[in-house]
Amino acid sequence: MQVKAILCDAASVREGLLHILGGGFTNVWRGEYPTGFWGALAMIISPEASEIGEQHKLVIKIMGDDEQLGNIERGFDVTPRPGTKHWPGELPPIPVVVSFVEQPLRLPKAGFYRFDVLVDNDQKDTVGFFANPPGARPQG
The pLDDT value given to residue 140: 60
Average pLDDT of the chain is 91
Give the DSSP H or E segment for 25: none
pLDDT class of 88 with cuts at 50, 70, 90:
low
Q: pLDDT by residue (tens digit) across 53-62? A: 889 999 999 9
Q: What is the mean pLDDT of residues 9-32?
A: 94
Return the domain boundaries, the chain: 2-132
Q: Which of 87, 91, 90, 89 is nearest to 79 (CA)?
A: 91
The pLDDT value given to residue 100: 94
Residue 86 has pLDDT above 70, yes or no: no
Q: Which of 96, 95, 98 is nearest to 37 (CA)?
A: 98
Tell me, which fold does domain 2-132 have in CATH? Immunoglobulin-like (2.60.40)
Q: Is omega for the bond preceding 34 within 30 degrees of 0, making it cis?
A: yes
Three-point CA angle 9, 13, 15, nearest 5°: 150
